Structure 1
Amino acid sequence: MTSIQELKLLPLNEDSANSLNKTNGVYSAEVQELDVLVVGAGFGGVYQLKSFRDHGYRVKLVEAGTDYGGVWYWNRYPGARVDTTIPLYEFSDPDLWKDWTWRQRFPGSAELRAYFAHVADKWNLRKDTEFNTFVSSASWDDVEAKWVAKTKNGRTYKVKFLSISAGFAAKRYIPGWKGIEKFKGIFVHPSYWPHEEPNLRGKRIAVIGAGSTGVQLATDLSKVAEKLHVFIRTPNTCMPMRQVNYNLPEQAHPRSEYPDLFNGRKECFSGFDFDFIPRSTFDDSLEERLNIYEKLWAEGDFKFWLATYKDMLFVESANREAYNFWRDKTRARIHKKEIADILAPMKQLHAFGCKRISLENGYFEIFNEPHVHLVDMKATPIEEITEKGIKTSEKEFEFDYIICATGFDALTGGLSQIDIKGPSGESLSEHWVDGCKTYLGMSVSGFPNLFFTYGPQAPTAFCNGPTCAELQGDWIVNVINHMKLKGLRRIEAEAEGEKKWKEDILRFANASLLPTAKSWYMGDNIPGKPREPLIYLGGVPTYYKTISECAANGYMGFRTE
């Protein structure tokens, strides 16, 4: 097991995803030939492994970590939990849910890893999975019409189809602050949290970042730290999570309702079991609006965000009305006006819901505690990391731990960090140098027989993960079944289809308020990354209809041979 001292330098090394849990295995130089190589052992990857195998394909799943879970394998930090309710956050296969019982409405990362172990056992996944295997490159062999994929531990795979399910948060981002290597304490990105929990009680801790991870970390660490400093640049418009601990075998819904719940996921904008109210904000009187807001707020999930009035994400005045309700609810929980002015300012900083909203359990109340301090990085930016801690433009702070919850090169990073080269020799990174280009958010022109799930220009971060895994996973398997039936060996998105898809991405995004806010939805968190909408905002039903029509029309927008 990697020690916490070793861990402190891992975020500085791109190889660290493969070095967290090293093995001393010696791998054969023999090339493994397969029909399909699936990369990534989260929801998308494990679903594809089972689906391809069920259809008779020779398939392997490779994963950089040592077990299943995807983001939940890596995210073990204090407070880590999903903010989607169960049973929506699971697969629809009855063989899985008929004898699986959740302990909480919003499961923590340990329970989610246990669920993935359950899935692996039920679906017998381990015999076709290779762990500690980070795919570093893939190049297309035009003569054989196959991908040659190589890994950092020396394995080589030659495959007809390459399907990548790296997820939207596969490449960590750490700002280039001067002096990180000088810090004498522990500096760590939360997704590299050690498997053996460090003793943080009584320590001086800094949490940098106020995304979902930063909110969860700060809340939990406030209970054990001697001093906790939370460094934020932009406040998180997070909402209360109404957690429920179930008295087993009680669950949120009777299992008899599960089939309808799962079938309904593809009919709702975000892949949940709820959708927007089919009327506009100001169609209702003030009293009616407040009643609606209060009811949605009391649900303690994402309904205030994604089951509210249909114009909330599209019309500034409607958006401001929702923000004002959130602001007043939140400020009432914060004792000091100067803190409230930073965390829930009277004047709206950006469109509500157009930066990733999180759910929280007592986050705002921690700032009422005397040992918890808020540092506004807009007023006093971080200048460097020192031997003792963090130096801002105002002062130097001393810490034992610096936890860098600064997020990820989201959506494109997990794909572009693999050196993928098509038949022309152009890499995927080069193809995207001026902006992301895909067709249907699952393929790229110039890269035949390559597919990916839960990536850029798909519903992804505005879609429940298991919902997307099943919709996209089924579609990809059906493409390959179609090719097998027709005797085809190569399929590739056409440049014109890619161009039109990007136009659709822009059209949907520009009809909303999303581009008005700086966020990782727009690539804003990575210096030098093109600013553009990276998510399909047409909603799950429209996306599902579109990809289904593409298939029904003989995979229109693709060329085959």
Structure 2
Amino acid sequence: MSKLMNTDELDVLVVGAGFSGIYQLHRFRQLGYSVNIFEAASDLGGVWSNGYPGCRVDSDHPLYQLSLPELWEDFTWKERYPGWRELHEYFQYIDRKLDIKKDVSFNTRVVAAHFDQEIDRWIVTTEDGLIVRPRFLVLCVGFASKSYTPAFKGLERFEGICHHTAHWPREGVELRNKRVGVIGTGASGVQVIQEAAPEASHLVVFQRTPNMALPMRQKKLDAKFQEEQKVLYPSMFRRSKQTGGGFSYERYPKSLFSATPEERLLHWENLWAQGGFHFTVSNFDDFLMHEDANREVYNFWRDKVRERIHDPRIRELLAPTVPPHPLGAKRCSLEQTYYEVFNQPNVTLVDLNESDISEVTGKGILTKDGVEHELDVLVLATGFDSLTGSFTQIDIRGVDGLSISEKWANGVYTNLGMTCANFPNMFFIYGVQAPTAFSNGPTCIEIQGDWIVQCIKYMKQNGWTAIYPTAKAEVEWRALIMNTGYRALINKAKSWYVGANIPGKIVEPLNYTGGVNNYLEIIEGIAERGYEGFRFSCQEKDACKI
């Protein structure tokens, strides 16, 4: 239920209490604005309120946290890649330090919003019928809050336990000595498979496309070393905004074929030993642009992985001789024991290209070769309607009466990946047409969050009550997204990067691929030029200062 009392005087309504929502609340509070968060879940954390087996971050310490000194100075992480329990502890710690929950309305799901030009305010409706009228609406709903489950025939007939990884019960699911099936081998699939294999009596993995997973190199963190390292944190956080991926490390400044074979091998071995996204983020600067360079990188990855797999057939399914798509065109998951799992006698890998799922039965899954795989637990690791789905699942309507879903039905148009024409006073963070999928989350969130806060501050200082992104600016931003996106190899794979995982969705580049550093330069330039590409208005003309 909402704690909000005065619904007509609210400066900012934030939707979502994950990293971005919390950061926005804190920044607007610092300016003395009235602000509240509506959160559909019962606690802080956004995506990290989930807890499926193996759920953990894939950005390494210390950059997967907010850069506020009052938070990191007193917090000590336990692992290089924290799991969901540690992230949950972190969000509770944030609340203790910043008293976040006093301005959060939990179990409050926003279902509709429309802008009233008579008063320059959003009229926002929640699932339980509450109506609020904030001046500004900031959507912090993330890029993966709308799960996707394919239309499997007979799914409702399954008699065992079935959950999508995005809707895992808080009390957990017992996997020990159970027959477990996992559909999907994306990030959540890889994580569940690693956890389920040692416990299940039998594990069946249903794979359509192999995951080009990278070694995580997980490790426990030494508290003393971590404390000593904190003197470098300010430099690390600043550096993260100067790099393409929002990390403290950057692309290798050389094309692959300009390097000698010896240089290539030694560089790859070094990146492989470091683990995590070093292998993709710090690889040769043309490997995501040219297929011949990418193939060389893939061959190195393939040979490394094949060393860990015993069975020749399984080896070919998990690390094919010929890649199904360029390495990096789909998100590479991080793994710890993923490939060794398939050496276990209790694990079966089903190639859906060879024999697809025919239907779900009461007992399990029937594939088209006539084999029924009997299961006690079915895990749907089938992904999300990413980037756009988080927004289109809400009935948000602009001044022309069109919903955001209708606006984007034939292609996405935004200005700067933060605003939309005909949707005044609405901002969004870590969503479509921003660096989202190709950046460290907190880095992107803070860059966009700071820009939004400064924009609203500028408006209030000058008496403006509404900001309108222009249609011309949208067309120009979309052109930039398309021009840079289509040049990259990400378009060579059927992935959520381009919306190809959702039937009927327009397939197009959905992220800004030019790098966090360049994105920051662009949006700061827009602000410095008086918010070029936007127009302002106010209810009382005499109140406007310019």
TM-score by length of 2: 0.96
Q: In the alignment, residue 352 of structure 1 is paired with which amino acid?
A: L
Structure 1 CA distance, aligned partners of 2:432 and 2:497? 10
Shift of 1:139: 0.9
Distance 2:394 2:419 in 1: 15
Mapped to 2, the partners of 1:121 and 1:274 lie a distance apart of 32
Residue 554 (1) aligns with residue 530 (2): yes
Map residues 150-189 of structure 1 onto 2, 5 A cutoff: 150-189=125-164
- Do the aligned partners of residues 26 and 311 (structure 1) sit closer, same or farther apart at CA in structure 2, a change above 3 Å counting? closer
1:108-140 Cα shifts (integer Å, max 9, x gaps)? 000011111111221111110011011000011
- Structure 2 counterpart of 1:244: 219
1:192 matched to which residue of 2?
167
Deviation at 1:547, TM superposition (A): 0.2
Which residue is 2:37 aligned to? 61
1:444 aligned residue (400, 420, 423): 420
Trace 1:219-234 onto structure 2 (pairs within 5 A).
Answer: 219-234=194-209
Contact 2:3 2:105 in 1 (8 A): no
Q: 1-side partners of 2:306 and 2:501: how far apart?
A: 27
**Residue of structure 2 equivalent to 1:335:** 310
Does the C-alpha gap of structure 1 residues 368 and 31 become closer, same or farther in structure 2, counting only changes over 3 Å? same
Task: Select which of 90, 114, 121 maps to 2:65.
Answer: 90
Whole-angstrom CA distance in 2 between matches of 1:241 and 1:416: 34
2:287 aligned with 1:312, yes or no?
yes
Are the structure 2 counterparts of residues 396 and 29 from structure 1 closer, same or farther at C-alpha, using a change threshold of 3 Å?
farther
Number of aligned residues: 536
Return the alpha-carbon distance in structure 2 between the equivalents of residues 464 and 506 of structure 1: 22
**Kept after mapping to 1: 8 A contact 2:2/2:105:** no
Structure 2 unaligned spans of 5+:
538-546
2:15 corresponds to 1:39 = yes
> Which residue of 425, 428, 451 corresponds with 1:475?
451
Measured in 2, the distance between the counterparts of 1:504 and 1:58 equals 36
Q: How far 1:31 sits from its partner (Å)?
A: 4.2
1:435 aligns with 2:388: no
Aligned positions of 1:270-281 closer than 5 A: 270-281=245-256
Matched, 1:211 2:186: yes
Taking the TM superposition and a 5 Å limit, the aligned residue runs for 1:399-410 are 399-410=375-386
CA distances 1:164-212 after superposition (whole Å, capped 9, x unpaired)? 0100101000001111111111111011111112221100000110001
Partner of residue 468 from structure 2, selected from 485, 492, 495: 492
**What is residue 254 of structure 1 aligned with on the other side?**
229
| Counterpart residue type for residue 459 of structure 2 | M
Matched residue, 1:7: none
Q: Does 1:367 find its partner at 2:342?
A: yes
- Superposed, 1:94-109 pairs within 5 Å as 94-109=69-84
Deviations 1:364-414 (CA, angstroms, capped at 9, x unpaired): 000000000101111111121111111110121110111000000000001
Secondary structure of 2:23's partner? Answer: helix
Equivalent pair of 1:105/1:252 in contact (CA under 8 Å): no
CA distance in 2, matches of 1:323, 1:492: 45
Aligned partners of 2:527, 2:432: CA distance in 1, in Å?
A: 20
* d(CA) in 1 for partners of 2:490, 2:408: 21
Q: Structure 1 residue aligned with 2:26, among 50, 75, 82?
A: 50
Deviation of the 1:295 alpha carbon? 0.4
Whole-Å separation in 2 of the counterparts to 1:159 and 1:417 = 20
Instruction: Identify the residue that residue 80 of structure 1 maps to in structure 2.
Output: 55
- For the pair 1:127 / 2:102, whether they are aligned, the reply is yes
In structure 2, the partner of 1:511 is: 487
What is the CA distance between 1:149 and its match in structure 2? 0.6
Q: How far apart are residue 479 of structure 1 and its match?
A: 0.6
Between the aligned partners of 2:494 and 2:210, the Cα distance in structure 1 is 12
Aligned ranges 1:523-542 → 2 under 5 Å: 523-542=499-518
Are 2:317 and 2:351, in contact at CA under 8 Å, matched by a contact in 1? yes
Q: Which residue of 2 aligns with 1:149?
A: 124
- Output the amino acid matched with 2:453: V
Is the partner of 1:356 in helix, strand or coil? coil
Letter in 1 for 2:314: I
> Counterpart of 2:226 in 1: which secondary structure?
coil
Residue 520 of structure 1 aligns to a residue whose secondary structure is coil
- Cα pair 2:55 2:192 within 8 Å, conserved: yes
Deviates more, 1:27-36 or 1:539-548: 27-36
Query: Percent identity between the aligned chains?
Result: 48
2:35–2:103 CA contact under 8 A, matched in 1: yes
Aligned match of 1:118: 93
243 and 26 in structure 1: CA distance in 2 versus 1, 3 angstrom threshold:
closer
Question: Match for residue 543 of structure 2?
Answer: none
- Separation of aligned partners in 2, 1:28 and 1:46: 17
Q: What is the distance in 1 between the residues matched to 2:378 and 2:60?
A: 31
SS in 2 for 1:118: helix
Deviations 1:69-114 (A, max 9, x none): 111112x011111011111101111110111000000000000111
Cα offset, 1:270, TM superposition:
0.6
Per the alignment, do residues 28 and 550 of structure 1 end up closer, same or farther by CA in structure 2, a change over 3 Å counting?
closer
Cα 1:344–1:141 shift into 2, 3 Å: same
Other structure's SS at 1:34 match: coil
Tell whether the 8 Å contact from 1:101 to 1:249 is kept in structure 2 after alignment.
no
Q: Note if contact 1:33-1:157 (Cα within 8 Å) is conserved in structure 2.
A: no
Partners in 1 of 2:75 and 2:3 — Cα distance? 36
CA contact (8 A) 2:2 2:108 kept: no
Contact map agreement 2:4 2:36 (CA 8 A) in 1: no
Q: 2:442 aligns with which of 466, 473, 483?
A: 466
Corresponding residue SS for 1:522? coil
TM-score (norm 1): 0.94
Separation in 1 of the partners of 2:3 and 2:474?
Answer: 39
Cα offset, 1:248, TM superposition: 2.9
For 1:510 and 1:552, locate their aligned partners in 2 and report how far apart those are by CA, in whole Å. Answer: 29
2:207–2:352 CA contact under 8 A, matched in 1: yes
Corresponding letter in the other structure for 1:526: I
SS of 1:383's equivalent in the other structure is strand
Q: Distance in 2 between matches of 1:479 and 1:344?
A: 48
**8 Å CA contact 2:395, 2:404 repeated in 1:** yes
